[in-house]
Every structure is written in structure tokens, then in C-alpha cells.
Amino acid sequence: MTRLAERPRPSRVALFVTCLGDVFYPEVGEATVRLLHRLGIAVDFPRGQTCCGQPAFNAGFRQPAKDVARRNLTLFANAEYIIVPSGSCAAMWRVFYPELFADDPVLGEQAEALAARTYELAEFLVHVVGVERLGAVFHGKVTYHASCHLLRELGVAEEPRRLISQVEGTELVPMDLAEQCCGFGGTFAVKYPEISDAMLQKKIASLKRAGADTLVSCDAGCLMHIAGRLRRQGETIHIMHLAELLNASSATDVQTSKP
């Protein structure tokens, strides 16, 4: 995170809520907005946004991915900060947009510039805003699942844990396979369901060993995958996006996605 120079606290950001967040987990985007508001940061939501292009990109369909991504270059051209509450989608913007447009001098430059202003939520809070304690209250035993793109494409490892450990009433417990893939992998989960599920079962076994009642992660994709299996098995472990946890308070009724 050395690219972050000393800068004044941001006053305005643009939110890229991600298609998964928009359609399946609107409460994550909602929590993100309120969280940023509580920090005194105004949030824009460019209406024309849809997807980052990752599903097509990961499947090898670069042209459709490019077509979708190009819209975001324009749509967010004037945003000082782009906040993405997903490690995976943030990695698409940060790592793969510059690669996708590398052969185009104009778009390539735009993509680079955009990438430099794009942040996943946890890293934005810790490194740009410079806060770890957000006044959240949540009573529970929480463990953290490190989503792969956040951890290994963006190198964000400890930031979410630091944020979690500052939540009042929350005990952060370690999970032995915290940094092992849950087997989601986008279309992988559909194309190779048996392998995907074998990976997921190991994840869930590790989650149970951790003895937590709530699993927190920074990616709706992983959360949906893990929660989908927990629900099928009839487990009672709660699943929560980091934004939801950080926005939880004793006063508000926290919406958790119960499996």
C-alpha cells in the first residue's frame, strides 16, 4: 500500500456497488454508503453502472469484457476515489483493466489512472481514511475468510482483520484455512461443481473448527457460495459482509444473511 501518499481525508467518493451486490446483496452497498456517511464522506452512485466485466474476462471472453469495462472508464472518469466493496471486482479494476487496455494508448492510460484511484473498502478505510475503529457494535464470535483476489491480487491481508478486531463486542477468532479458496471461482462453481464443493466442504470444516458464530468476508461471491452450502446443510453460522459488520450498532437492527 505504498502508493498512498499523505493526503487529506477524502470528502467524496464514487461507489461501484458491483452487480452481485446490486442484485443479490443490496444490504452490503447500503451498509457501505451509511458507513462512509458516518465518516463524513459523501457518496456518489453513478447510475449507469452495471458490472465490472469480470465474468466474461475470467471465462476468456476479452472483447465483451472490454466492452463492458470501457463504460466504467467513462462513467467514473471524474471520480476522485472509486470504492468497491469487493476484493474481486476491485482487483478487476486495479489489476486487469490496465492489462485489458494495454494495447490502446488512450484507454490504457485512462485505465491506469482509474486503477490508481480504485480501492477495495477495507484498504480504503485503513489506508486512505486512516481509521480502524468505526464505532461499530456487534456481539459475536467472528472469523474472517480471506477472499483470494483481495488477498493475492491486491495484497490486502490484515486490514479487514484490524477493522474487525476494533468492533465492540466482537471476538475475532482465527480459522486455520482462512486463506484457502472456498471453491467459488465464478463460473468454476457451475462448471466443476464436484471439485468446487469438495473445496467448499474443507472450508466449512475449517469454519466449524474455528468455533465462530459469524463468518465475515469482503466479497459477496464467497459469501453466497459459503452461505449456500451452510443453508443446504442446515447450519446456523451467520454470514456477513465486512461493511455490514462495520455498520452494525446496538441501536440498529443488523441485517445478516442467515444461511
Partner 1 sequence: MSTHIAGHTAPRGGAEHLGTEGFQEHARQALQDAPLQQALQLLVTNFVPRRVAAMAALGNAEELRTEARAIKERTMARLDEYLEHFATQAQRVGVQVHWAHDAAEARQIITGIAQHIGAHVIVKGKSMATEEIHLNPHLEQHGYEVVETDLGEYIIQLAGETPSHIIAPAIHKTRQQIATLLHEQLGTPYTEVIPEMTQIARRALREQFLRADMGITGANFAIAETGAIVLVTNEGNGRLSSTMPRVHVAVMGMEKIIPRLADLAVMLKVLTNSATGQKISSYVTMLTGPRRAHDLDGPEELHVVIMDNGRSAILRSANREALYCLRCGACLNVCPIYQNIGGHAYGWVYPGPIGAVLTPMFTGLDTAQHLPRASTLCGACREACPVKINIPHLLLNLRQQLVERHDASWAERVLFTLWSWIMRHPRLYEAVIPLAALAQKPLVKQGWLSRLPAPFAGWTQSRDFKAVAARSFRQRWQETLQHERPVMYGTTPEKGLAHE
Q: Please, what is the minimum distance in Å from the beta carbon of residue 108 to partner 1?
A: 17
Burial class (CB within 10 angstroms; exposed 0-12, middle 13-18, buried 19+) of 52: buried
Q: Please, what is the minimum distance in Å from the beta carbon of residue 193 to partner 1?
A: 4
Q: Please, what is the minimum distance in Å from the beta carbon of residue 23 to partner 1?
A: 6
Restricting to residues 179-208, name those near partner 1 by CB under 8 A: 180-181, 183-186, 188-200, 202
Binder to partner 1 among 25, 81, 93, 119 (CB under 8 A)?
Answer: 25
Cβ closest to partner 1, residue 59 vs residue 173: 59
228 binding partner 1? (CB under 8 A): yes
Taking the CA atoms of 27, 29, 30 and 35 in sequence, report the sign of the dihedral they define.
positive
Binder to partner 1 among 64, 169, 174, 211 (CB under 8 A)?
Answer: 64
Distance of CA 143 to the CA centre of its chain: 16
Binder to partner 1 among 38, 141, 162, 209 (CB under 8 A)?
Answer: 38
61 binding partner 1? (CB under 8 A): yes
Distance between CA 204 and CA 140 in Å, rounded? 18
Contact 180, 202 (CB under 8 A): yes
Task: Kindly indicate which of the ranges 111-119, 207-215, 222-230, 240-248 contains the residues binding partner 1, using the contact rule CB under 8 A.
Answer: 222-230
Cβ closest to partner 1, residue 173 vs residue 255: 255
Distance between CA 35 and CA 100 in Å, rounded? 32
Amino acid identity for residue 188 in this structure: F
23 binding partner 1? (CB under 8 A): yes
Q: Please, what is the minimum distance in Å from the beta carbon of residue 228 to partner 1?
A: 4
Restricting to residues 95-154, name those near partner 1 by CB under 8 A: 129-131, 133-135, 148-149, 151-153
73 binding partner 1? (CB under 8 A): no
Concatenating the DSSP letter of every residue in 168-222 gives EEEEE---TTTTS--S-TTTHHHHSHHHHHHHHHHHHHHHHHHT-SEEEES-HHH
Binder to partner 1 among 208, 232, 236, 252 (CB under 8 A)?
Answer: 232
Restricting to residues 155-174, name those near partner 1 by CB under 8 A: 168
Residue 145, C-beta contacts closer than 8 angstroms, at least 6 positions apart: 175, 178, 182, 203, 207, 215, 216, 217, 222, 226
First to last CA, the chain: 34
